[in-house]
């Protein structure tokens, strides 16, 4: 098969097409013939040598989400059959023509979505569900702040939380992204380059603050996040792009009874990821099927243009997801 490999840690140009054996699949796995693969920031980190693959996954092939058709099934798989159209959260090696995936991490592609649209869903939707609704315990009627509102994570979180009954606030870096997020359903988008999210949220919520924050920035955003949370608020960390160290006012945490938590998804086991898939299929997939929630794909690249895809990802000029197609 053709696969996009990391020839050595480095800049986007280290991504090259190469021949690799079609992967073997375990009894509980399906082999997917990949039509499209989503691009995510962890792929960039892996390319730079900063995010190693889990044990047993081909280390030189990035990729955490795919869409395609089931080519073969393991002996223990009962749900899927050859020819089924699926998208899946994969443990790695998604940038390839074939990918072996635990059956429980697959989801059916709604009839109204293309393979390219479906490939943009798993990594972001699994992440948002696990961190906003499970770990962050966001409930209907509560408020959510998402940093990076125009990212793949952001556009998923805006739509998911909005449709499940929450007001969503976001931070973005341009006026274009601000307008886009508000049109998508955000109650208010804040341009962090010209506005203080702490002050803007204070004004927008009459001083109450938000109930939950999904943060991929970390570093110096942390103190502002704590000020922005309402009493009993929850801060959920999924990345630390501005640095892993932060100053925390512990007295504020105690007085406001705040919860500080976070997670990474890739290292979790198949049972955990399969449970998220089941929740998504029950709560979110009907909203995708009826068009209430829509994938946002910014750009599509051919497999031999993977370097361009990564360059766009690192530029932060995109709105929504970037997809590679085979």
pLDDT for 82-119, tens place per residue? 999 999 999 999 999 999 999 999 999 999 999 999 99
Give the per-residue pLDDT at 273. Answer: 98
CB-side neighbour CA atoms (13 Å) of 274 = 10
Give, rounded to a whole angstrom, the gap between the first and last alpha carbons of the chain. Answer: 11
CB-side neighbour CA atoms (13 Å) of 21 = 4
The pTM of this model reads 0.96
Give the per-residue pLDDT at 79. Answer: 97
Looking at CATH, the fold of the domain delimited by 2-121+266-325 is given as Quinone Oxidoreductase; Chain A, domain 1 (3.90.180)
57 pLDDT band, cuts 50/70/90, is confident
E strands, the chain, are 2-6, 15-19, 29-39, 65-73, 85-89, 98-102, 106-108, 143-147, 167-172, 188-191, 210-215, 229-237, 259-262, 297-302, 321-325
pLDDT in tens, 262-302: 999 998 999 999 999 999 999 999 999 999 999 999 999 99
Give the per-residue pLDDT at 182. Answer: 98
Beta carbons within 8 Å of 195's beta carbon, 6+ residues apart: none
228 pLDDT band, cuts 50/70/90, is very high
- What are the backbone dihedrals phi and psi of residue 293, each rounded to the nearest 5 degrees, phi first? -120, 135
Nearest Cα neighbor of 203 from 222, 219, 190, 214 is 190
58 pLDDT band, cuts 50/70/90, is confident
Decide which of 3.30.70.20, 3.30.420.40, 3.40.50.720, 3.40.50.300 is the CATH code for 125-262: 3.40.50.720
pLDDT value at 142 more than 90: yes
- For 184, counting Cβ atoms within 10 Å of its Cβ (0-12 exposed, 13-18 middle, 19+ buried), the class is buried
> What is the residue extent of each domain of the chain?
2-121+266-325, 125-262
Yes or no: say if 80 and 103 are a contact pair by the CB < 8 Å rule.
yes
Can you name the residues that pair with 3 across neighbouring β-strands? Answer: 18, 96
């Amino acid at each position: 098969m053709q696969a996009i490999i990391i020839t050595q840690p480095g800049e986007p140009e280290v991504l090259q097409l190469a021949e690799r054996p079609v992967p073997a699949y375990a009894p509980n796995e399906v082999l997917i013939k990949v039509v499209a693969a989503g691009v995510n920031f962890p792929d960039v980190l892996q390319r730079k040598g900063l995010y190693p693959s889990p044990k047993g996954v081909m280390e030189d092939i990035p990729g955490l989400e795919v869409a395609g058709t089931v080519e073969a099934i393991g002996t223990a798989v009962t749900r899927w059959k050859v020819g089924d159209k699926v998208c899946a959260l994969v443990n790695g090696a998604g940038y390839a023509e074939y990918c072996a995936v635990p059956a429980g991490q697959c989801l059916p592609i709604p009839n109204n979505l293309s393979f390219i649209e479906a490939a943009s869903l798993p990594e972001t939707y699994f992440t948002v569900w696990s961190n906003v609704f499970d770990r962050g315990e966001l409930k209907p009627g509560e408020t959510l702040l998402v940093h990076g509102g125009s990212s793949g994570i952001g556009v998923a979180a805006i739509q998911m939380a909005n449709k499940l009954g929450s007001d969503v606030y976001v931070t973005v870096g341009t006026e274009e992204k601000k307008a886009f997020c508000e049109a998508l359903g955000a109650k208010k988008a804040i341009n962090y380059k010209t506005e203080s999210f702490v002050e803007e949220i204070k004004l927008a919520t009459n001083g109450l603050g938000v109930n939950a924050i999904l943060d991929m920035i970390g570093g110096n955003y942390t103190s502002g996040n704590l000020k922005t949370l309402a009493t009993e608020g929850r801060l959920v960390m999924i990345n630390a792009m501005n640095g892993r160290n932060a100053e925390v006012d512990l007295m504020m945490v105690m007085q406001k009874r705040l919860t500080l938590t976070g997670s990474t998804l890739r290292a979790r086991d198949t049972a955990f990821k399969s449970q998220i898939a089941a929740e998504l299929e029950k709560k979110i997939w009907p909203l995708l099927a009826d068009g209430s929630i829509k994938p946002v794909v910014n750009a599509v690249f051919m497999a031999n243009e993977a370097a361009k895809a990564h360059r766009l990802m690192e530029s932060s000029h995109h709105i929504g997801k970037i997809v590679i197609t085979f």
